């Protein structure tokens, strides 16, 4: 029995030690608030909780100043300044030059996504301060354990009912004291394609007026999207703790970066992911004109040969594998891809195309060159077989694909640098100094 107590004591001390270390991490951080509208609130809230907190307005901020801080809180609300989204330029400077761990507050996630072509540029300014669908993750554990016993049940929102059929209530975590009053809406992001991106983590959603799968709190590279709009003084203790946990968590991601280039629907026409065609056709709430608008006239003529939506969806199931956006960002069947008989994101696509570069049939070899140039722009500039074979050998474990307007393959440079396959380097494993074996603590 004494040995049991001793073991429990050692374990308890270990857990306590980890918690104390995380608390120390928070107190060691130097934080820079870049914004204007809520400077006093954030500075007051963080004073005494972190090593130092400094504020700059967006207009006066120079990106080089961020080098002296561990975490940047970026506050960039929607308004006159951001109304013409096609012309948005980021106050943080060019995307490729930004290296600081950053928390994007509220609509800053939308605005920066538009300016930098990040994930997060598609969603809705319609999120209440009610966290929903909390995933099991350390961000809810450290440095403050988010008390799940304080979650409440609410009637399933009307906008969730089509996807949560038969579910009368959902459990949510209020981030404010009075969740029934009218609050400024936060920004939530559609997360349908998150799973294919190694640099993206989904932590939780929020009650909104679109879909239960929308993300309210999530990470891409060194950017953490805190989509809830409320200021610290408006939050309850749980909301404030979740914000502090977010600051600590993102502080550990100085090496990771957003990878995919994802234009926003708010900045101009975009090509939808291929699965959207069948998904929208099977959802009676979406008019067929929505699908028509994402396709070329010739492709729509093919898919609408029958007026039965399920038959149209079945056509999409069969042919959407070969869809590709034209210059106007409308989807049409890529004849080269259809001739190859493989979707561009099939695991055999690149290797098959490389092998066909050797074909003695000129048209087969020419088609392979076109396909590799179209879908693998990260490959070698030369079309020689030897160059492609060497590139494939070097990079095949570190590749992933995306069809969120980009329709291409990417090299995961962090996975390549660490020598860990991209499929293994996910979530917390991408933080500084971590490996796939130290993904959890």
Is residue 3 over pLDDT 60? Answer: no
Q: Which of 333, 349, 375 is the last residue of a domain?
A: 333
Instruction: Reply yes or no on whether the pLDDT at 228 is more than 80.
Output: yes
Is 265 inside a domain boundary? no
Binned at pLDDT 50, 70 and 90, residue 20 comes out as: very low
Residue 116, pLDDT > 80, answer yes
pLDDT surpassing 70 at residue 305? yes
Is there a domain that residue 383 lies in?
A: yes
pLDDT at position 41 over 60: yes
Same domain, 87 and 228: yes
Q: What is the pLDDT of residue 15?
A: 39
Among candidate residues 310, 333, 356, the one where a domain is terminated: 333
Q: Do the domain assignments include residue 362? A: yes
- CA distances to 53, 89, 215, 296, 321 from 113, rounded to whole Å, are 25, 11, 14, 27, 27
Co-location of 149 and 192 in the same domain:
yes
pLDDT tens by residue, 357-387: 999 999 999 999 999 999 999 999 877 999 9
Classify residue 181 by burial, with Cβ atoms within 10 Å: 0-12, 13-18, 19+: exposed
118 plus 244 within the same structural domain: yes
Q: Helix (H) and strand (E) counts for the chain?
A: 13, 16
Least confident of 8-12, 233-237, 240-244: 8-12
Q: Would the pLDDT of 1 be above 80?
A: no
Q: Which pLDDT band, with edges at 50, 70 and 90, does 22 fall under?
A: low
Least confident of 74-88, 111-125, 339-353: 74-88
Is 237 in the same domain as 287? no
Q: What is the pLDDT of residue 84?
A: 84
Predicted TM-score (pTM) of this structure: 0.91
The domain boundary, picked from 250, 280, 295, lies at 250
- Number of structural domains (the chain) is 3
| Same domain? 64 vs 100 | yes
pLDDT at 218 exceeding the cut of 70: yes
- Rounded average pLDDT over 241-260: 98
Q: Once rounded to an integer, what is the mean pLDDT over residues 182-198?
A: 96
41 lies in the same domain as 136: yes
User: Please, is 182 exposed, middle or buried when counting C-beta atoms within 10 Å of its C-beta (0-12, 13-18, 19+)?
Assistant: exposed
- Looking at residue 87, what is its pLDDT? 83
pLDDT digits (tens, 9 = 90+) for 344-364: 999 999 999 999 999 999 999
Band of pLDDT at residue 172, cut at 50, 70 and 90: very high
Same domain, 224 and 284: no
Residues forming beta bridges with residue 123, ordered by sequence position: 189
Same domain, 199 and 343: no
Q: Do residues 231 and 38 lie in contact, with contact meaning Cβ atoms separated by under 8 Å?
A: yes
Q: Is the model more confident about 10 or about 87?
A: 87
pLDDT band for position 288 (50/70/90)? very high
Residue 217: strand pairing partners? 204, 226
Instruction: List the structure tokens of 372.
Output: 């590799």
Range of the structural domain that residue 374 is part of: 334-411
pLDDT at res. 233: 98
**pLDDT for residue 307:** 82
Per-residue pLDDT, averaged over 151-155, amounts to 98
- Which residue in 48, 49, 55 sits closest to 69, CA to CA? 55
Residues 193 and 328 in one domain: no
Cβ density class 273-286: b for 16+ within 10 Å, e for less: bbebbbbbbeeeee
Model confidence pLDDT, tens digit, residues 200-210: 999 999 999 99
Residue 56: how many other CB atoms lie within 10 Å:
18
- What the block records as the tokens of 229 is 């709009």
Domain-embedded: residue 378: yes
pLDDT at 112: 97
Structure confidence at residue 439 as a pLDDT band (50, 70, 90): very low
Looking at every residue in the chain, the average pLDDT score rounds to 92
Please state the rounded mean pLDDT for residues 187-197.
95
- For residue 7, what pLDDT band results from cuts at 50, 70 and 90? very low
Domain-located, residue 87: yes
- Torsions phi, psi of 405, nearest 5? 80, -30
Average pLDDT over residues 302-314: 91
Query: 136: Cβ–Cβ under 8 A, 6 or more apart, which residues?
Result: none
Do 122 and 234 have their domain in common? yes
SS3 assignment, position 373: helix
At residue 77, φ and ψ (nearest 5 deg) are: -75, 165
Write down the pLDDT at residue 10.
37
Question: Domain check: are 319 and 352 in the same one?
Answer: no
Same domain, 59 and 142: yes
pLDDT at 12 over 80: no
């Amino acid at each position: 029995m004494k040995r049991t107590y001793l073991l429990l004591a050692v374990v308890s001390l270990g857990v306590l030690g980890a918690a104390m270390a995380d608390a120390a991490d928070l107190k060691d951080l130097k934080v820079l608030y870049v914004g204007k509208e809520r400077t006093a609130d954030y500075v007051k809230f963080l004073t005494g909780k972190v090593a130092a907190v400094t504020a700059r307005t967006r207009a006066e901020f120079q990106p080089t100043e961020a080098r002296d801080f561990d975490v940047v809180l970026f506050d960039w609300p929607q308004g006159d300044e951001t109304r013409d989204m096609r012309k948005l330029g980021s106050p943080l400077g060019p995307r490729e030059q930004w290296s600081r761990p950053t928390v994007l507050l509220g609509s800053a996630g939308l605005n920066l996504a538009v300016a930098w072509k990040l994930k997060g540029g598609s969603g809705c300014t319609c999120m209440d301060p009610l966290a929903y669908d909390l995933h099991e993750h350390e961000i809810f554990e450290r440095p403050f354990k988010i008390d799940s016993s304080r979650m409440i049940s609410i009637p399933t929102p009307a906008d969730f009912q089509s996807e949560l059929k038969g579910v009368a209530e959902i459990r949510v975590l209020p981030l404010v004291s009075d969740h029934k009053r009218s609050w400024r809406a936060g920004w939530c992001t559609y997360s349908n394609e998150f799973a294919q991106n190694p640099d993206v983590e989904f932590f939780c959603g929020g009650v909104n007026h679109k879909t239960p799968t929308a993300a309210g709190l999530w990470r891409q590279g060194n950017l953490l999207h805190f989509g809830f709009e409320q200021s610290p003084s408006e939050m309850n203790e749980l909301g404030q703790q979740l914000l502090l946990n977010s600051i600590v968590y993102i502080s550990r991601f100085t090496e990771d970066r957003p990878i995919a280039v994802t234009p926003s629907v708010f900045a101009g026409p975009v090509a939808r992911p291929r699965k959207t065609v069948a998904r929208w056709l099977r959802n009676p709430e979406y008019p067929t004109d929505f699908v028509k608008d994402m396709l070329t006239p010739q492709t729509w003529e093919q898919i609408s040969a029958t007026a039965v939506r399920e038959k149209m969806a079945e056509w999409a199931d069969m042919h959407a594998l070969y869809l590709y956006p034209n210059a106007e960002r409308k989807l049409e069947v890529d004849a080269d891809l259809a001739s190859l008989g493989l979707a561009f994101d099939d695991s055999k696509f690149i290797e098959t195309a490389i092998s066909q570069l050797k074909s003695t049939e000129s048209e087969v070899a020419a088609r392979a060159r076109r396909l590799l140039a179209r879908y693998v722009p990260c490959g070698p500039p030369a079309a020689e077989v030897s160059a492609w074979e060497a590139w494939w050998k070097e990079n095949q474990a570190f590749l992933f694909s995306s069809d969120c307007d980009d329709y291409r393959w990417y090299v995961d440079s962090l996975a390549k640098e660490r020598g860990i396959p991209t499929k293994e380097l996910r979530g917390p494993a991408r933080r500084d100094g971590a490996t796939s074996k130290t993904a959890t603590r």
